[in-house]
Amino acid sequence: MPKITSAMPLRRLGKSGLEVSTIGFGLWAAGGDAWGTTDDREVLTAIDYALEQGVNFYDTADVYGAGHSEELLGKAIHGRRDQFIIATKIGWQGFDGERQTTAYTTVEKLIAGVESNLQRLNTDYVDVIQSHIDFRDPTMEIFLEGFQRLQNAGKVKNYGVSTSDFEYLQAFNQDGRTATLQIDYSILNRTAEADILPYCLQHNIGVIVRGALAMGILAGKFTPQTRFSEGDFRRRWHENEAEYQTYLHDLDTVETLRQKIAASGVSLAQLALQFVLQHPAVTTVIPGIKDLAQAEANIQAGLLPELDAETMALIDSLVPPGGGRKIWPA
């Protein structure tokens, strides 16, 4: 097992100036929908543990568990708000066919929506608010104006966007005030390396990585026979032949990586988290955590040294820089 450091490293989150832990805490699964059932007590225990280990960055959204994820985080921060850096999202309501939908069609509706975020989170401000949708005009202008009004009122300290669309990111950052980008980035999805990550470095935009475990594929626990429970969105991987073949290819890639690190003492999930943290544009990664065991394993990845040149060369041979596929769109 590689030697680990003694303290969770911190990095500056772009122009926000916030110093955030390299390993954050993703609360999508904690909402109790889309990823199978969860136990609120286990989630709160995991948050307590993460906080004790130096994790200060917690990311959620209004739609995770129809607000339940935010409510859980609101319980966790009670009496110790100053120890948490909180990021949440607003905008995405669902899908109309293949198209995302939003309820925030005016600035007033958006501001009222963020007020609801704050109420569920049991706080009078959030450190980062993020647009969870990438519609262009007029939706983008509504979000920008709403976020800036909330920032001026002190209810939002910084704002950003969650997207994998480079043109949308550029448009959202039209006045240079966008502080953060949340993006899907992993060993299996390196598409952001081509243009988005260099742009963020150039414009001092802090990068929050989601999807580093590729929806669990890079945790190394799935096989071709794995089946997902009712309500788990990953069921679609078996319901479409093209997606199923891509899934099988991804499993082959994961197996090659598993054989490479078998004697290292590092898990596949830790390798995947180390990989994204190695990119100079990345500030923090937010693996989904819903229990203590996941918290312990993910946090340890933030304390491990960088991947060696041999391991990076193997990854490059399996998924070339800038290559792979987008696992999740927004």
- Give catalytic residue positions: 64
Mapped onto helix, strand or coil, the DSSP state of residue 121 is helix
CB contact burial 185-197 (16+ within 10 A = b; e otherwise)? bbbbbbbbbeebb
Q: How far apart are CA 26 and CA 115, in angstroms?
A: 21
**Which segments of the chain are extended strands (E)?**
10-12, 19-21, 25-26, 57-59, 85-90, 94-96, 99-101, 128-131, 159-162, 180-184, 206-210, 282-285
**Nearest to 127, CA basis, from 9, 16, 281:** 16
For residue 320, the cross-strand partners are: none
Other residues' Cβ atoms within 10 Å of the Cβ of residue 71: 19
Contacts of 235 (CB under 8 A, 6+ apart): 227, 228, 229
Mapped onto helix, strand or coil, the DSSP state of residue 97 is coil
Contacts of 83 (CB under 8 A, 6+ apart): 51, 56, 77
Q: 68-77 and 107-121 helices cross at what angle (nearest 10)?
A: 50
Q: Which amino acid is at 189?
A: N
Q: Is the dihedral of CA 80, 85, 90, 96 positive or negative?
A: negative
Tokens standing for residue 304: 């491990």
Q: 200 with 181: CB under 8 angstroms?
A: yes
Q: 207 with 181: CB under 8 angstroms?
A: yes
